[in-house]
A and B are shown apart, each in its own frame.
Chain A
Amino acid sequence: MKKNTDLTIKPFQNETECITIGDFTIENRLLHVSFFGSLDITKDKKGLENALILKGVLDSIVEDMERQELPDMIDQNYDQKTVPNPFIKTI
């Protein structure tokens, strides 16, 4: 199987990039980067490869954030509206 060489993201620049390492996922978003799932870094060559992928992503995030003025806390109030359920029968 061909190796996927570009395992980096442009943090906070897009909502498209997603890196998967086994059951572990990194998703790039505009307002956050999401890390979820679990991953064992095994003490072998594969473990080192995985650790380097994580390090590359984290380094790029830190570098990007240190370059800018950050708020104390991001606004997490999201707009939420509701609409009538279109699947309910309206007789």
Chain B
Amino acid sequence: MKKMLLLSIVSTISLYAAQTSCPQFYLDGEAPDILNKNMVQKTRELCYEAFGVMHSGITKTPLWSAEILLRENLEKKIPRKDVFHEESRLPRNERSELSDFVRSGYDRGHLTPSADAPTPSAQAETFTLANIVHQDHVLNAGVWSSIESATRYLAKKEGRLHVITGALFMGNRVKAIGNNVLVPSMIYKVIYSPKQQKAAVYVVDNAPSKNYKVISVSDLEKYAGIDFFPKMSETQKAEILDLPVPQEKH
């Protein structure tokens, strides 16, 4: 918890209140505001067919990837082949390359998972490295995969969910791999149900663990340095949407 405190001392003035270029992926068309001024540097928004990414040229990773999950888009998909690829829309010195993952000991972890994407072309786009972070293998293949599947299960029940999946860089020092691509310390998934008008967050350490936590948006904001829903009241952010227990199969 000591690590979290360090980032909690961020300014509460919104420094990134610029209009989003991908409003279609956010609640009321409002993207999260970055409150930490160090985090605003070299950020670029990238819009795709089914998700929007806020990318950092400092960490050379996505900060988050946002999508709207609709029940009707979550039918079983046929087997397919995809190709991990570098994001040519990002400057070379701000992006990760495939070579940054070789011999890294880490998986290429999707923020917006390919199984959420509604069409083959949208699925293919999730393999851009702008949507990928260095993720622990045990986590990626284990509880994180179950969290992704629990989220789809909830979307089928609720009909529609707003989802923001992101990476947090905590503590005084962070791991760097390849050509200085930073490794997230934690990964989170913010989920908002318009039907219940409540949100909650799954949070995991980027480590070989089966543990996860469910917290409120308000608690996540305390150490993320991001205002996830600029128009939402503090009371609403403090409520916790009932999230399913992650299981291998839902």
Contact = CB atoms under 8 A, between A and B. Distances in A.
A4 B81 contact: yes
A18 B82 contact: yes
B234 interface: no
A82 B115 contact: no
B176 A36 contact: no
Q: What DSSP secondary structure best describes chain A's contact surface?
A: loop
A3 interface: yes
Chain B's interface: helix, strand, loop or mixed, by majority?
mixed
Nearest to A20: B80
Nearest to A38: B248
A24 B107 CA distance: 15
A81 B85 contact: no
Contacts of A21: 79
Contacts of B77: 20, 22
A17 B83 contact: yes
A20 to B, nearest CB: 6
Contacts of A34: 107, 137, 141
Given A29-B102, A49-B79, A81 B175 contact: yes
Contacts of A9: 81
B174 A15 contact: no
Nearest to A50: B79
Interface residues of A, number: 41
A89 interface: yes
A38 B78 contact: no
A82 B171 CA distance: 11
B102 A88 contact: no
Nearest to B170: A85
Interface of A: 1-4, 6-9, 15-23, 27, 29-31, 34, 36-38, 49-50, 53, 76, 78-89
Interface of B: 6-7, 9-10, 36, 38-39, 58-59, 76-85, 98-99, 101-105, 107-108, 114-115, 120, 127, 137, 140-141, 145, 149, 169-177, 180, 182, 225, 248-249
The 9 closest A-B pairs by CB, nearest first: A36-B141, A78-B105, A82-B173, A4-B80, A21-B79, A83-B176, A16-B83, A18-B82, A16-B84
25 contacts: A3-B78, A4-B78, A4-B120, A7-B79, A9-B81, A16-B83, A16-B84, A17-B81, A17-B82, A18-B81, A20-B79, A20-B81, A20-B114, A23-B115, A34-B137, A36-B140, A53-B79, A76-B105, A78-B104, A78-B105, A82-B174, A85-B170, A85-B173, A87-B39, A89-B36
